[in-house]
């Protein structure tokens, strides 16, 4: 018996022969255009080996190996597999996908799982920890603003405690979101989600939309996801307690600690109720996007201000508003990541009542929303100029303008691709650029706010 399966560049199955149906136990109607070839392998094998197999096939024209696969009924079988790249009308044209030929063998095949794979599984695949940069850069921007304004204005220990606590809180929100999306059937109904695959060196294999897919890959159970989410939340609470204690020691009063705690609770609730019932903000036609803007923008920077300051910050003081303003561009850029990642999920989201803005406006009309958010992000960034000039010792307005202009043009490239490919899998390049844009802007702001090296 021989299985012959072809898939596109993201692993979505395009064809399967009769032998493949019999070998894996799935009818072709259940697979073609709906499932990915990763369905047939254990999650750890997918994380550790599939990217390498595909890269080798591209480089050498073919990759041969032995592994084990999993049938629909859950039984395993050992196999020899040959992977070859596919091209449109000849190798001189762009690659369109892969062909995998699988032959069952009697030899017992063991695939040793490396420690690095286990680390990636927990730190990135299950928790989506790589995306915590969206939480960290706004915090570091506040610290850089303080550093650029004078000496001794913030506590290094408080910054570390704040950053670690926020990472745990962000990961906890990711896990709760996954739990509720799977429980509500949203992720299970999604067959069009985006995976970075080999399209990105930095984000290779990262899940861009449709949740982490960790439960679907068998990396963790639904109940395990909920349990881990709660543990991450407990860890966030522990680090927050240490942060608040340190804040009290620094200022001699509870004012900063109290305000940081209130803001932190607000941010945590926004993250939790993004998918959790009864609010399920993501289904409320725009409230989900507003929640993300606040949680990853002004709420985050304002909370960081109170958390790391070495002196008491008065409500509605200039420092208070400066922190709010700093968070606005970050909030818009992170919202655009969420916004464009909703495109491939739109059909399944609509079926399960996840009525975000792309579902509400329709894919075609929603394109302009991406541009408006992009304009708002860089408009609010330029708005910071006077405030930064008044507060920073080494602020350079020309570098600030030039950096914003370059980053905005980069964001426009993502919009142009979105405008043309909003119904195509080629949209993935816009998803990646939107993620990179938030990272590049974060790095730029951390540097521009404290030009101590000039």
Q: From CA 362, how far away is CA 394, in angstroms rounded?
A: 46
Q: From CA 370, how far away is CA 233, in angstroms rounded?
A: 32
pLDDT value for 4: 97
- For 264, the enclosing helix (H) or strand (E) is helix 255-272
Q: From CA 443, how far away is CA 226, in angstroms rounded?
A: 33
DSSP state of 112: P
pLDDT value for 91: 67
On whether the CB atoms of residues 297 and 332 are closer than 8 A, the answer is yes
Q: From CA 141, how far away is CA 136, in angstroms rounded?
A: 9
Q: pTM here?
A: 0.94
Instruction: Give the Å distances, CA to CA, from 38 to 73, 90, 207, 359.
Output: 16, 26, 13, 28
Within 13 Å, how many C-alpha atoms sit on residue 163's CB side? 15
Measured in residues, the chain has a length of 454
Q: From CA 161, how far away is CA 2, in angstroms rounded?
A: 56
Helix (H, G, I), strand (E, B) or coil at 104: strand
DSSP state of 309: B
* pLDDT tens digits along 45-94: 999 999 999 999 999 999 999 999 999 999 999 999 999 999 987 767 88
How do the pLDDT tens digits run along the chain, 454 residues long?
899 999 998 899 999 999 999 999 999 999 999 999 999 999 999 999 999 999 999 999 999 999 999 999 999 999 999 999 999 877 678 899 999 999 999 999 999 999 999 999 999 999 999 999 999 999 999 999 999 999 999 999 999 999 999 999 999 999 999 999 999 999 988 989 999 888 888 888 889 999 999 999 999 999 999 999 999 999 999 999 999 999 999 999 999 999 999 999 999 999 999 999 999 999 999 999 999 999 999 999 999 999 999 999 999 999 999 999 999 999 999 999 999 999 999 999 999 999 999 999 999 999 999 999 999 999 999 999 999 999 999 899 999 999 999 999 999 999 999 999 999 999 999 999 999 999 999 999 999 998 865 5
* pLDDT tens digits along 278-331: 999 999 999 999 999 999 999 999 999 999 999 999 999 999 999 999 999 999
pLDDT value for 453: 57
Instruction: Give the Å distances, CA to CA, from 131 to 73, 125, 143, 257.
Output: 34, 11, 20, 27
Structure tokens, 79: 């196999």
pLDDT value for 147: 95
Domain boundaries, the chain: 3-104, 129-448
What is the separation of C-alpha 111 from the centre of its chain, rounded to a whole number of angstroms?
29
pLDDT value for 10: 87
DSSP state of 124: I
* Domain 3-104 fold: Beta-Lactamase (3.30.450)
């Amino acid at each position: 018996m021989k299985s012959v399966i072809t898939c596109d560049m993201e692993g979505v199955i395009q064809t399967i022969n009769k032998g493949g149906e019999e070998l894996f136990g799935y009818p072709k109607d259940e697979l073609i255009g709906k499932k990915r070839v990763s369905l047939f392998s254990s999650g750890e094998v997918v994380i550790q080996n599939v990217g390498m197999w595909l890269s080798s096939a591209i480089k050498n024209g073919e990759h041969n190996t032995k592994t084990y696969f999993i049938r629909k009924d859950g039984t395993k079988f050992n196999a020899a597999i040959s992977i070859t790249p596919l091209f449109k009308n000849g190798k001189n044209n762009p690659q369109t996908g892969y062909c995998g030929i699988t032959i069952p063998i009697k030899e017992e095949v063991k695939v040793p799982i490396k420690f690095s794979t286990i680390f990636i599984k927990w730190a990135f695949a299950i928790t989506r920890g790589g995306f915590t940069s969206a939480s960290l850069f706004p915090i570091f921007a506040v610290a850089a603003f303080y550093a650029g304004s004078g000496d001794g204005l913030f506590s290094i220990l408080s910054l570390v405690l704040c950053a670690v606590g926020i990472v745990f809180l962000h990961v906890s929100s990711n896990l709760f979101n996954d739990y509720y999306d799977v429980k509500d059937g949203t992720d299970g109904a999604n067959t069009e989600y985006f995976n970075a695959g080999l399209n990105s060196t930095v984000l290779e294999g990262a899940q861009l939309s449709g949740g982490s897919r960790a439960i679907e890959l068998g990396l963790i159970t639904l109940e395990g996801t909920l349990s881990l989410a709660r543990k991450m939340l407990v860890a966030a609470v522990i680090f927050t307690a240490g942060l608040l204690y340190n804040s009290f020691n620094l200022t001699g009063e509870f004012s900063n600690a109290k305000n940081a705690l209130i803001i932190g609770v607000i941010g945590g609730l926004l993250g939790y109720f993004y998918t959790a019932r009864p609010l399920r903000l993501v289904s409320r036609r725009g409230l989900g996007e507003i929640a993300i803007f606040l949680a990853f923008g002004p709420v985050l920077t304002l909370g960081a201000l109170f958390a790391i300051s070495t002196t008491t910050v008065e409500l509605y003081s200039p420092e208070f508003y400066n922190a709010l303003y700093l968070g606005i561009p970050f909030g818009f850029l992170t919202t655009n990541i969420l916004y464009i990642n909703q495109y491939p999920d739109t059909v399944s989201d609509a079926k399960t009542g996840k009525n975000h803005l792309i579902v509400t406006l329709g894919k075609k009309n929603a394109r302009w929303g991406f541009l408006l958010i992009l304009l708002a992000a860089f408009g609010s960034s330029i708005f910071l100029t006077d405030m930064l000039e008044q507060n920073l010792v080494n602020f350079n307005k020309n570098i600030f303008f030039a950096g914003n202009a370059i980053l905005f043009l980069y964001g426009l490239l993502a919009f142009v691709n979105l405008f043309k490919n909003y119904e195509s899998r080629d949209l993935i390049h816009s998803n990646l650029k939107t993620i990179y844009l938030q990272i590049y802007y974060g790095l730029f702001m951390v540097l521009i706010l404290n030009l101590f090296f000039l």
